[in-house]
Amino acid sequence: MSDFYTNMKILFCLLLFITQCEQPKTSESHINFDVSGNYHWKSDKRSNYDRDNYMILTKKGDKIKGYYYGNSDEFSLSPHGLWPGYFVLEMQDLTFHEDSIKFKLKPRSDDFFNEPVKFSFFTSEDALKDGNTKWNFIENFQFNPVKEYIGVFSDSTTIWLDKDAFHPEEDRQFNKQTKLQSIGNLAYQEYFRSQIQTKLSTVKSKVAILPFEALTLEWLKENKKPDIKPLEARDIQLITELLKKSIDDYNSSTDNKSMRGKIVNYENNYITQIVSYLNPAKEREAYVNCVCLNGVDSDWRKKLIIVEGGGSCFFRVFVNLDKKTAYNFWVNFSY
């Protein structure tokens, strides 16, 4: 009997030892190079804002902590058409096993900012104290609260993160840098703030009156004829009043809000395109199309902007000028 218990103890200790050995470690004791440092992934997509991602791995004793810098595109399955929100997040559940790396990012609404976060800051609280401002479009943004990452060290200076639903094209290569070219320094902080302000100020009149020919889609042109009478100031005022009422009605409703998003600060964050026409009853009407500033291109005063998806960055309504009514208010889905 004593031999039986002795053997059981030995077996238990052996299983415990094996289990301990198989556990991924947050230390790098089993890796023959120093993983700590600054890593940079450069996006190949051209844009007027920074799409690159960055990782900083720090070492204290045999413990490694990681911090991830990026923007809201990291958590959206479809382009949301908004000026992005920037973040720094601690890499949660960070583990290393042989040459692999795994971690999770768990963003909150308060973690997104209008400006990139300096690499000298590791928390949203520090970024806020430094002058970063809360992201203007967070109420419009539907994001995944947890994202898991799996990657591998191909050598001592390169991390490959596996492609995922948010980056389906290819694995992402993060290269180790002696020093990150900080997009978060003061000059760039001011640059990104100015980009937002430029969007707001250069569109002096955020209303464009487009000709009837701008209705290029068949479903828009159907049963409509050109209105030879130009829109007057009182027409624009009526359209604006009915549009704002439609927005208020939509924001106060619960209809598909989770799939579309709330319309925030229409006066400052959107442009409006208007095309007038005559309906089959020869009543004067207007098609009113609204687009958030980041979805605007240089031809927005000439061409109607029609897209699929994008959520509350894109919405429209029809206005009957003779009856002074609005109908068929529509907000795009976020797919």
- CA 96 vs. chain centroid, Å, equals 29
pLDDT band at 185 (very low <50, low <70, confident <90, very high): very low
Give the residue with greater pLDDT, 273 vs 9: 273
Domains and CATH numbers, the chain: 24-198 (no CATH), 203-331 (3.10.450)
Mean pLDDT, all residues of the chain: 81
Q: What is the pLDDT of residue 253?
A: 84
Q: What is the pLDDT of residue 76?
A: 74
Of the CA atoms within 13 Å of residue 85, those in its CB half-sphere come to 26
3-state secondary structure of 280: coil
User: Of the candidates 316, 320, 315, which has an alpha carbon nearest to the alpha carbon of residue 227?
Assistant: 320
Which range among 76-90, 96-110, 141-155, 299-313 has the greatest average pLDDT? 96-110
Rounded CA-CA distance 73/2 in Å is 63
Give the residue with greater pLDDT, 14 vs 284: 284
Query: Which tens digits make up the pLDDT trace of 215-269?
Result: 988 888 899 999 888 888 888 889 999 999 999 999 888 765 556 788 888 888 8
pLDDT band at 201 (very low <50, low <70, confident <90, very high): very low
Query: Which tens digits make up the pLDDT trace of 126-178?
Result: 999 988 888 877 776 778 789 999 999 999 999 999 988 777 777 899 999 98
pLDDT at 19 over 50: no
Q: 41-45, 61-65, 198-202, 316-320: which has the minimum mean pLDDT?
A: 198-202
Rounded CA-CA distance 140/259 in Å is 10
User: Of the candidates 319, 293, 300, 314, which has an alpha carbon nearest to the alpha carbon of residue 240?
Assistant: 319
Average pLDDT value for residue range 197-210: 63
3-state secondary structure of 137: coil
Q: Beta partners for 226?
A: 277
Q: What is the pLDDT of residue 65?
A: 95
Tokens of residue 240, six digits: 């604006």
Query: Which tens digits make up the pLDDT trace of 70-91?
Result: 988 888 755 555 677 899 999 9
Give the residue with greater pLDDT, 179 vs 289: 289
pLDDT band at 204 (very low <50, low <70, confident <90, very high): very low
H or E element that contains 152? strand 147-155
Which range among 41-50, 62-71, 202-211 has the greatest average pLDDT? 62-71
pLDDT at 101 over 80: yes
Q: What is the pLDDT of residue 292?
A: 87
Which residue type is seen at 71?
A: N
Long-range contacts of 225-228 (CB under 8 A, 24+ apart): 225/277, 225/278, 226/277, 226/278, 227/276, 227/277, 227/278, 227/284
Rounded CA-CA distance 314/108 in Å is 24
Dump the DSSP string for 164-219: -SSS-SS-EEEEEESS---TTSHHHHHHHHHHHHHHHHH-SS-EEEE-GGG--SHH
- CA 44 vs. chain centroid, Å, equals 17
Q: 73 Cβ partners below 8 Å, 6+ apart?
A: 51, 79, 84, 166
H or E element that contains 245? helix 233-252
Q: Are the C-beta atoms of 156 and 37 separated by less than 8 Å?
A: no
Rounded CA-CA distance 303/273 in Å is 9
Average pLDDT value for residue range 57-71: 92
Q: Are the C-beta atoms of 100 and 152 separated by less than 8 Å?
A: yes
pLDDT band at 109 (very low <50, low <70, confident <90, very high): very high
